[in-house]
Amino acid sequence: MTASPQLELTTAPFLHRGLSTRRVMFEVLASLVPVVAAAIYFFGLAAVLLVLAATAGAVLVEWAFDAQGTRALRDGSALLTGVLLALTLPPSLPMWMAFLGGAIGIGLGKTIWGGLGHNLFNPALVGRAFLQAAFPTAMTTWARPGLSFAEIRPATLAWPFMKPAADVVTTATPLGLAKFDHQYTGLWPLLAGTTAGSLGETAGLVLIACGLWLAIRRVFDWRLPVSTLLSVAFFSALLRAFGGEAYPGPAFMLCSGGLLLGAVYMVTDPVTTPLTPRGAWIFGAGCGLLVVLIRVFGGLPEGVMYAILLMNAVTPLINRYTQPRVFGGEGR
Amino acid sequence: MAALRRTLTFRHGVHPDEHKEATCRLPIQRMPFVDEYVLPLSQHIGRPAKPVVRPGQRVQRGELIAEPDGFVSSAVHSPVTGTVAAIEMRPHPTGRKMEAIVVRADPFASQRFVRRSDRPREDMEPDEIVAAIQRAGIVGLGGAAFPSHVKLKVPPGKRVRFAILNGCECEPYLTADHRTMAERPRAVLRGLELIMKVTGAERGYIGVEVNKPDAIARLREEIPDGMPITVVPLAVKYPQGAEKALIDAIFHKEVPTGKLPLDLEIVVQNVGTAAAIADLFATGQPLIERVVTVSGPGVRRPANLLVPIGTPVRAVLEHCGGLLPSTRQVVLGGPMMGHAQKDLDVPVVKGTSGVIALDRLAPVTDEQPCIRCGRCLEACPMFLNPSLLATLARAERVADLKEHHILDCYECASCSFVCPSHIPLVQLMRVGKALVRERGSN
């Protein structure tokens, strides 16, 4: 026999499916390309600048506080957080705020918990919650879509820690119109993306398509978005049935605001949502209920962010009480 | 309606690439005899056998050289006519050195097995058949090497209604069972008949994954008229060959945790084991050889070989043209549950279903934090939570490990296979099981 090669000893298994965390993150990032493209189409150069700013903030903090040097950067999770955060922001938000949101999202949302896999709350939403608390006016100033691509509102380029000039031609989002004026936007504008709203939330059809793609490729657990959407539909139908026309119907509730973006990209974050199939159903049901409660009875028109953050807090409890039944064990 | 009917299978599990194309059409060929054979006294689960020969003693092919030491133990026979050269510590495929009988082949012997007096099986009582199987050293040939007679001896007060043969061969690369079923369907079926007779089973089932259509067809052709035997095609999935998964696939029943298939009135044996039992009663030949798949990207000429037990792995690989220089690992058994070897002088033992030469190391070095994606939960055929159990094992939380059923893990490695963070989950499960066994008694 040919001189025997140097054999190495490891333990079984000797095969691996070949999936890595990095690959998972980049699959999600790849699925975001159409969403970002839609944001750029509807909101122009501002969308590009906000994505860059939020991502820069997230990646910079990840790099600065990573004990392993640049290793954690390579998994792509900070990049993903930055892009997702940007997609939840109003198009006229100053870039420096987006940068700060990304930095806080990774810093307070992830790094201090111990890094990837250890955080309780969705980092992108932590960043957004911070911005909502710190800059409520900027976070609820909605630019009208449909400007020419290169047109940049002065607010976008405002100096850091300077108040943006009140230069934006503002409008209300469909949820705002519904809540305060009882005007219901039709389904087609909601799906087509021609309404006002955050960068990545308006184009419903694009989000649905990206969600289906991720579900088919089994990048995420389909139960999480499905249960969330079913729950919103159920509770809004319930309100409609008992409360009448004063409440928005399920179709409007499902397609408006950040629900589709949240259901496809936030509810499905594996780290901050339950592991078990039963847990996924409970998590989604809770998110849906909270979205309806906050939107209908809360002070703000939108409630997706708080619904998800609140359910994130409950995730460890859900995990504990939905441990899988062992094969051949009690309770079939 | 037929289109809606799904192929039977168990729940959860994984789909590794099959890698069977290199050998699945190659007929079983006999491995030539070599000079020296190493027969470990422990090549089955249970107590090692006790030698009944002395160095210098001449032995015949098929002669008993070590007898079972107790009920959960099995005999060892000489695979060749020759001389006992030594009884000493030798490397064993599990990685330790173990006591073994070394037999030097007689270069002038014909090496034909000579039948010894064994009564025809027709007038044997079930207990006698069970004892004969133990004396013949027949153990499970699927890989775990559990002594076959232990499962066939039905304890008083229990009964067996169904006998299942495991023809799944769900491990990648392996085709030994496939070829046995395709080439020797009558032996497999005769073995199943004997198992049914011994245990009193009313019905027999042979579970075969649908990637072996020729085996399914040949077995179906050869079922004797009136025999209540069914060949059950199963979806291709790992680890379907595990007893509990196989029973789940065929009957949709769960073996209760901590219990045995016997508690569901079922006995499971491997198809190769059934053929070995049939051979014993047809010719009197004990378990002195087995079919081994030699495959993998590092092997020049992949093959299915009938190898005398005790043949050094080095000789088997040489017979197949040797290893390519790119080989990084040689694995005995399948790549999901087998053992990597440092020393190619280890022998083929009764549980060696394959010799697989791999050129790539499993990525064990780049472990990332767990992102709680739940893929391991979806893979685990025992419905365990491997990510949690791995964390508990690292923290040495023995009571929690026990409470979360770590002892139900049979180490199929599906969790490690799917983990995107490359966490060595099954290795940590082994650590956890050992912790519970050492310290968990009180």
Mean pLDDT along residues B292-309: 97
Mean pLDDT along residues A89-93: 93
User: pLDDT value at position A67?
Assistant: 61
Which of B254, B324, B331 is facing A14, going by the closest CB pair? B331
Confidence of residue A246 (pLDDT cuts 50, 70, 90): confident
User: pLDDT value at position A329?
Assistant: 87
User: pLDDT value at position B1?
Assistant: 40
Instruction: State the DSSP H helix or E strand holding residue B357, giving kind and residue range, or none if neither.
Output: strand B354-358
User: pLDDT value at position A160?
Assistant: 80
Confidence of residue A66 (pLDDT cuts 50, 70, 90): confident
User: pLDDT value at position B412?
Assistant: 96
Which of A7, A19, A221 is facing B342, going by the closest CB pair? A7
CB contact under 8 A, A275 and B374: yes
User: pLDDT value at position A2?
Assistant: 47
CA distance A56 to A44: 19
Q: A-chain residues within 8 Å CB-CB of B373? A: 24, 270
CA distance A3 to B326: 12
CB contact under 8 A, B372 and A270: yes
Mean pLDDT score of chain A, rounded to an integer? 90
CB contact under 8 A, B421 and A21: yes
Q: B-chain residues within 8 Å CB-CB of A325? A: 383
Q: A-chain residues within 8 Å CB-CB of B332? A: none
Q: B-chain residues within 8 Å CB-CB of A117? A: 369-372, 421
Query: A257 to each of A301, A303, B144, how far by Cα in Å?
Result: 9, 9, 57
- Express each pLDDT in B210-235 by its tens digit: 999 999 999 999 999 999 999 999 99
* Choice among A231-240, B1-10, B313-322 with the minimum mean pLDDT: B1-10
Mean pLDDT along residues A139-158: 78
Residue B377 has pLDDT above 70, yes or no: yes
Residue A71 has pLDDT above 70, yes or no: no
Residue A332 has pLDDT above 60, yes or no: no
Task: Give the chain A residue whose CA is nearest to the CA of B425.
Answer: A13
User: pLDDT value at position B33?
Assistant: 96
Question: Do A81 and A58 contact (CB within 8 A), yes or no?
Answer: yes
User: pLDDT value at position B287?
Assistant: 97
CA distance A101 to B19: 49
Model confidence, pTM: 0.91
CB contact under 8 A, A327 and B385: no
CA distance A10 to B341: 9
Question: Do B390 and B401 contact (CB within 8 A), yes or no?
Answer: no
Length of chain A: 332
CB contact under 8 A, A11 and B427: yes
CB contact under 8 A, A14 and B255: no
User: pLDDT value at position B88?
Assistant: 97
